[in-house]
């Protein structure tokens, strides 16, 4: 009998030790979860998300999503761990020696005469611009790196970027003054980098591009403003433009900071989709997950409502129903996404013609005539302002167009204008 009692006491002690060990593990996990947000800010990476809602004068609505991932250190080829910054994007930058690149995939045309300036200008189809490091001893290395960027982004986003430079598609080095990089000159300049430009005007944009694009976000479409990225709603738009822009700048300590900006712009027409000029965010995105929530890893999450086309003569927005904004900057109302629900009734005041945002320079191109004998392409450049402006127009011509003149000119009033081709 004493032996049985001793065995029972030993078993109780073992169970007690296991219970204490389990409790200590749970406490350790809770502590790690508590200090995780602090560690997230200390590793030099941040994630910001923003949604801009802008009613347009012709009853259309612009939704512009901005997802910014920032890393406060140099991108190292041997660095395999990133918290928010897309690892696949970092590998493209380091492997192909890219100082900056911007990719845009656009379906539809932006109506400058009716909508004013877009948030991010983009041509129809696919556009890719990259600034790659020069190789002094071998000029062909730049073209090889440019080709590597095409192949990598093509496979990543299910696009046809590998077709750049083939057949009649445009792909070439461009003059350094034609396209200015967003990065500061200390990081990207003409002495250390060369610019490559490619465009596919007939590239189709569909859910096959949006899905891999959204998977590069920290929470994909399961958290934050990514929950609103519903392909059924976003692709049923008159204008759809998405892209990635990676560039460098300096932080508060004058150190390099690399930013990966993911942007998406869609223009929805409530009168066409729902036969009503009265709309709400839920009616514009019926298949999205609402209400909105901030991403648990974002350092900034806001919804901006541009009320410039919804303000009456008294400075009020009579047709707008929203909660109290966090702040107001000019005509832009800033809201907290966790407590945000919007509905807008244009009413009779909205039917008036609102002034379109000033477009300083308007450029249009169209075909004229017919065939190779009388056919041609006309470029029209209009200065909407009252002062003279210096304009650099970078344009690509089809392979069947021959350039017969290297320069021409025109006279406006008594001033001679020189145009160099």
Do 115 and 10 belong to one domain?
no
Do 78 and 134 belong to one domain?
yes
SS3 content of the chain, % helix, strand, coil (to 5): 25, 30, 45
* Domain membership flag for residue 128: yes
Is residue 128 within 8 Å of residue 149, measured between CB atoms? yes
Residue the block writes with tokens 């901006």: 304
Do 152 and 278 belong to one domain?
yes
More confident residue, 172 or 355: 172
- Tell me: pLDDT of 64 over 60: yes
Do 157 and 19 belong to one domain?
no
* Mean pLDDT of all residues belonging to the chain: 81
* Domain membership flag for residue 227: yes
Do 254 and 109 belong to one domain?
yes
Do 26 and 52 belong to one domain?
no
pLDDT above 90 covers a percentage of the chain that reads 32
Is residue 304 within 8 Å of residue 51, measured between CB atoms? yes
pLDDT, mean of residues 318-343 = 77
Task: Write out pLDDT tens, residues 259-269.
Answer: 999 999 999 99
Do 223 and 285 belong to one domain?
yes
* Domain membership flag for residue 140: yes
* Domain membership flag for residue 17: yes
Provide the residue range defining the domain that includes 111.
45-307
| Residue 232, both tokens | 């059924």
Do 146 and 4 belong to one domain?
no
| Residue 155, both tokens | 């496979």
* Domain membership flag for residue 321: no
Other CB atoms within 10 A of residue 164 CB: 24
- Tell me: pLDDT of 182 over 90: no
Do 5 and 64 belong to one domain?
no
Among the candidates 11, 27, 42, a domain finishes at 42
Please tell me the total count of domains within the chain: 3
* Domain membership flag for residue 341: no
Non-local (6+) Cβ contacts of 127 within 8 A are 102, 103, 104, 106, 198, 199, 200
Q: Which of 61-65, 106-110, 192-196, 228-232 is predicted with the least confidence, judged by mean pLDDT? A: 192-196
DSSP 8-class letter at 356: P
Binning pLDDT at 50, 70 and 90, where does residue 168 land?
Answer: very low
* Domain membership flag for residue 336: no
Quote the pLDDT of residue 40: 44
Q: Three-state secondary structure along 204-270?
A: CCCHHHHHHHHHCCCCCCCCHHHHHCCHHHHCCCCEEEEEEEEEEEECCCCCEEEEEEEEEEEEECH
Do 38 and 49 belong to one domain?
no
Give whole-number Cα distances, 27 to 31, 38, 349, in Å. 6, 18, 60
Among the candidates 307, 341, 375, a domain finishes at 307
Do 133 and 260 belong to one domain?
yes
Among the candidates 242, 274, 307, a domain finishes at 307
Quote the pLDDT of residue 215: 96
Q: Which of 128-142, 245-259, 328-342, 393-407 is predicted with the least confidence, judged by mean pLDDT? A: 393-407
Quote the pLDDT of residue 23: 75
pLDDT, mean of residues 2-11 = 55
Binning pLDDT at 50, 70 and 90, where does residue 351 land?
Answer: very low
pLDDT above 70 covers a percentage of the chain that reads 77
pLDDT, mean of residues 274-284 = 82
* Domain membership flag for residue 189: yes
Quote the pLDDT of residue 411: 60
More confident residue, 107 or 401: 107
Quote the pLDDT of residue 275: 76
Q: Which of 18-27, 74-83, 109-118, 285-294 is predicted with the least confidence, judged by mean pLDDT? A: 18-27
Task: Write out pLDDT tens, residues 105-162.
Answer: 999 999 887 888 899 999 999 999 999 998 878 888 988 999 999 999 999 999 999 8
Do 221 and 303 belong to one domain?
yes
């Amino acid at each position: 009998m004493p032996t049985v009692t001793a065995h029972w006491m030993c078993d109780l002690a073992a169970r007690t030790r296991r219970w204490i060990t389990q409790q200590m593990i749970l406490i350790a996990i809770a502590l790690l979860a508590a200090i995780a947000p602090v560690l997230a800010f200390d590793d030099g990476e941040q994630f910001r998300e923003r949604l801009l809602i802008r009613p347009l004068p012709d009853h259309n609505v612009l939704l512009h999503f901005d997802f910014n991932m920032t890393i406060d250190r140099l991108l190292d080829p041997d660095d395999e761990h990133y918290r928010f910054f897309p690892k696949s994007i970092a590998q493209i930058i380091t492997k192909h020696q890219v100082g900056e690149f911007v990719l845009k995939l656009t379906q539809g045309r932006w109506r400058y005469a009716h909508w004013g300036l877009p948030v991010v200008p983009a041509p129809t189809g696919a556009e890719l611009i990259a600034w790659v490091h020069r190789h002094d001893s071998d000029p062909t290395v730049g073209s090889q790196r440019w080709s590597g960027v095409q192949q990598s982004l093509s496979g990543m986003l299910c696009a046809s970027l590998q077709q750049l430079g083939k057949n009649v598609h445009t792909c070439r080095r461009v003059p350094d003054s034609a396209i200015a990089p967003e990065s500061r000159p200390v990081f990207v300049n003409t002495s250390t980098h060369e610019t490559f430009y490619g465009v596919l005007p007939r590239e189709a944009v569909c859910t096959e591009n949006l899905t891999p694009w959204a998977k590069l976000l920290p929470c994909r479409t399961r958290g934050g403003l990514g929950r609103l990225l519903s392909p059924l709603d976003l692709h049923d738009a008159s204008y759809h433009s998405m892209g990635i822009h990676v560039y460098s700048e300096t932080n508060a300590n004058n150190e390099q900071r690399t930013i990966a900006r993911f942007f998406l712009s869609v223009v929805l027409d409530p009168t066409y989709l729902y036969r009503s000029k009265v709309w709400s965010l839920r009616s514009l995105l019926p298949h999205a997950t609402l209400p909105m929530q901030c991403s648990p890893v974002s350092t900034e999450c806001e919804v901006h409502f541009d009320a410039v086309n919804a303000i009456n003569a008294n400075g009020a927005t009579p047709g707008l129903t929203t909660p109290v904004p966090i702040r107001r900057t000019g005509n832009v109302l800033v809201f907290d996404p966790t407590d945000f629900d919007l509905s807008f009734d244009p009413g009779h005041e909205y039917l008036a013609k609102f002034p379109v945002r000033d477009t300083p320079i308007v450029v249009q191109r169209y075909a004229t005539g017919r065939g190779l004998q009388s056919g041609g392409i006309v470029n029209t450049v209009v200065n909407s302002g009252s002062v003279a402006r210096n304009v650099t127009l970078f344009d690509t011509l089809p392979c069947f167009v021959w350039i017969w003149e290297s320069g021409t000119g025109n006279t406006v009033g008594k001033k001679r204008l020189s145009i160099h081709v």
